[in-house]
Structure 1
Amino acid sequence: MILDKKGKLFGKVSIIDIAIIIVVIMGLVIVWPKVFRKDTGTSFVAKMDKLKIVFYQSEVQNFAVEAAKIGDIVTDKILNSTFGKVVDIETGESVSWVRTKTGEQAKVSKEGYSSVFITVEGTGVYGNNGVKIGNGEYFIGQTITLHVGKAAFYATIYDIKKI
């Protein structure tokens, strides 16, 4: 018989002893990796980096550019992300492309329109594949609807730098 009259397995180990050994082994299997894991260097909260982001729009109405001011908060309302504050606004002639009578493309400027570079400083998580700001991930060359103070722009991300 496997169990004797006293409830011992092969006359030496009781069933309760076996149950305790199984519980201890299961506990070690669960706890061991948590206590003795190798630190991967990642954390639940990513480190925020200070960023400088430059937005560009080749053709925007002058009154929209004039409404944007240094110090204005810059947001992406679609993803509810706040980029930071405007630190510089540079304007130039608007850039439009038209086809000439010979079929070539020619660069022209429109009256009442400007091109604009808007430089913003803020925080986000800078990575090899762009930046994460608020709820969105952003990349150089990406075009977004940008809200600067009371003005709106359909701007392209021209540059992103960690400062």
Structure 2
Amino acid sequence: MIDNKGRLFGKINLLDLVVLLGILAVAGRFAYGALAGQEAAPAGQDQTIEMTFRVPAVTQWTVDAIKVGDDVFDSKSNTWMGKIVAVDAEPALIAWEVADGIVSYESDTHFDLYVTIRGPARVSPNGITMSGIEVKVGRSIQFKSAYWAATGTTVAFNLTPDQQ
């Protein structure tokens, strides 16, 4: 079946055949994943939600810069996520490792911010997306506005906020 030049049936190079089959397998896997994913995902329901994210250990400058009414964008895609409806600041809890263990104290100079934004979302059994960006509790997202940028962790959703 394989001749002295390494060709299968004297016509096909065995190494070229293996490479070609590998490329076809990878392309087929991506095509199947794309087609199956489109068919399996339910459409979801559009609604307005509130999402709260925590921005840890920021300075007073950041606290002063983030204001209710600011438009919030995803930093990576520059996609509009919503408007800020609440900002709460509390002293940051700083942990310090010492010889006897870990000591924690409230900082006088740094704050943990809890920022709540309201915006349009698609809610489905597969998850929640705001402006096409998947958001989940515990996920870190980089946010920005015209005047500030911060990295926060999503801590809560309110799927049926009171419309004001």
Q: Work out whether the TM-score is over 0.5.
A: yes
Normalising by structure 2, we get a TM-score of 0.65
Correspondent of 2:124 among 127, 143, 147: 127
Moved over 4 A (4+): none
- Aligned letter for 1:122? G
Q: Provide the rounded CA distance (Å) in 2 between the counterparts of 1:47 and 1:127.
A: 6
Deviations, residues 55-78 of structure 1 (Å, cap 9, x unaligned): 112211110111111100011120
1:105 is aligned to: 102
Residues 21-58 of structure 1 show CA distances to partners (whole Å, capped at 9, x for unaligned) of xxxxxxxxxxxxxxxxxxxxx66xx5421101001122
Q: Distance in 1 between matches of 2:130 and 2:52?
A: 14
Deviations 1:70-103 (CA, angstroms, capped at 9, x unpaired): 100011120333221111100000122211220x
Moved more, 143-152 or 126-135: 126-135
CA distance in 1, matches of 2:102, 2:124: 37
CA contact (8 A) 1:56 1:156 kept: yes
Structure ID, larger Rg: 1
**1:37-56 equivalences in 2 (<5 Å):** 47-56=45-54
Q: Aligned pair 1:147/2:144, yes or no?
A: yes
2:85 counterpart (61, 84, 87): 87
Question: How many pairs align?
Answer: 119
Inter-partner Cα distance in structure 2 for 1:95 and 1:146? 22
Aligned alpha-carbon RMSD (Å): 1.8
8 A Cα contact 2:73 2:79, kept in partner: yes
The gaps in structure 2 that reach 5 residues or longer are 1-41
